[in-house]
Amino acid sequence: MDRLSGPGLDERLRQFLSEDVGSRDVTTETTVPPGTRARGELSARSGCVVSGLPVARRVFELLDPELAWREEVPAGTSLPAGGRLAALEGSARPILTAERVALNLLQRMCGIATETRRFVDAVAGTPCKILDTRKTAPGLRVFDRKAVRDGGGENHRYDLSRMVLIKDNHRTLAGGVSRAVAAARAAERGLPIEVEVESEEELREAIAAGADRILIDNQSPETVSRWCSIAREAASPPFVEASGAVRLDNVRAYALAGADAVSVGALTHSVRAADIALDLFSQ
């Protein structure tokens, strides 16, 4: 499910190409003579953390299987503005037709990796992990999650089947924290159970119910520190995650407050794409 390779990836990339190309690339077909060859360079116009080059390469290869691709920068590399990500050469028409889809994915993934690295650097020296969330663009989650990893972050649950995460609406409809945890534990013994808490009463109830993980939502670093101390006193201390109202300028305070992890939806739902260009030259 979370792999960027094989037939599944190709099928998705073909869908993206079909959406962009439509029936045909009329501009390229009418202006570029058949058989024209081109070489090109992918370069960063803004500094970025590299992510998504294998995906971009595969987009081009789907339209030109003979494409030559070289000098790819490793994922996770911090590249300054003006740095080259990769060089390519092949048939000009397929390169032009695939350009936009390849760049859209590459720029988004580099943007996510870059923002993730900023958060990871902000908590450096603490044991706190930076996590993503399910706040991804539909259809792009597998790409977004890889970019988070390339930026040094870690992934939360991939989808709703991977973990029980009891949030406010679940608590309300289940009749409270204890009932929700008990029902989940009885039905899904093999899955970890995380409970979102918004008060000290809910925190203590979740701990008493045996939650494996606690999600402290929309609280100050001071409150997180106090609640982490309460959680650590449990016979089996739960994993503590903080989220909500977390920004680059305050994430370190949450890490120092004792959170095992901080989840940041903005890594993927508000991504600022990196500025990457493809410059082509005739051969």
For residue range 85-137, what is the model confidence (pLDDT) as tens digits?
999 999 999 999 999 999 999 999 999 999 999 999 999 999 999 999 999 99
User: Which pTM value belongs to this model?
Assistant: 0.95
Q: Contact at 8 Å (CB) between 214 and 197?
A: yes
The residue type found at 257 is A
**What is the chain's length?**
283
100 catalytic? Reply is yes
Structure tokens at 85: 């990500």
Average pLDDT over residues 144-152: 98
In the chain, % of residues over pLDDT 70: 99
Task: Let me know if 146 is a catalytic residue.
Answer: no
Q: Known catalytic residue: 196?
A: yes
Q: Across all residues in the chain, what is the average pLDDT?
A: 96
Distances (CA, A) of 253 to 12, 229, 277: 40, 15, 37
Tell me: pLDDT of 68 over 80: yes
Mean pLDDT, residues 169-181 taken together = 95
Catalytic residue, from 134, 167, 204, 226: name it.
167
Q: Which of 121, 198, 212, 217 is catalytic?
A: 217
Question: Annotated catalytic, 41?
Answer: no
For the record, the structure tokens of 32 come out as: 């570029």
Q: Which two tokens stand for residue 116?
A: 């993730």
Q: Which two tokens stand for residue 120?
A: 């990871």
Alpha-carbon dihedral of residues 210, 164, 155, 223, nearest 10 degrees? -50
User: Which pLDDT value is given to residue 142?
Assistant: 96
* Percentage of the chain lying above the pLDDT 90 cut: 94
Per annotation, catalytic residue among 12, 84, 100, 185: 100
Alpha-carbon span 59 to 136, nearest angstrom: 21
Q: With 70 as the cut, is the pLDDT of residue 1 above it?
A: no
Residue 188: the pLDDT is 84
Give the mean model confidence (pLDDT) for residues 213-240: 97
Through-space distance between the first and last CA atoms of the chain, rounded to whole angstroms: 40
**Domains delineated in the chain:** 6-120+271-282 (3.90.1170.20), 125-269 (3.20.20.70)
In this predicted structure, what is the pLDDT of residue 2?
Answer: 62
Please tell me which residue in 12, 118, 135, 226 is annotated as part of the active site.
Answer: 135
DSSP E strand stretches across 173-275: 193-197, 213-217, 239-243, 261-263
Is 129 one of the annotated active-site residues of the chain? no
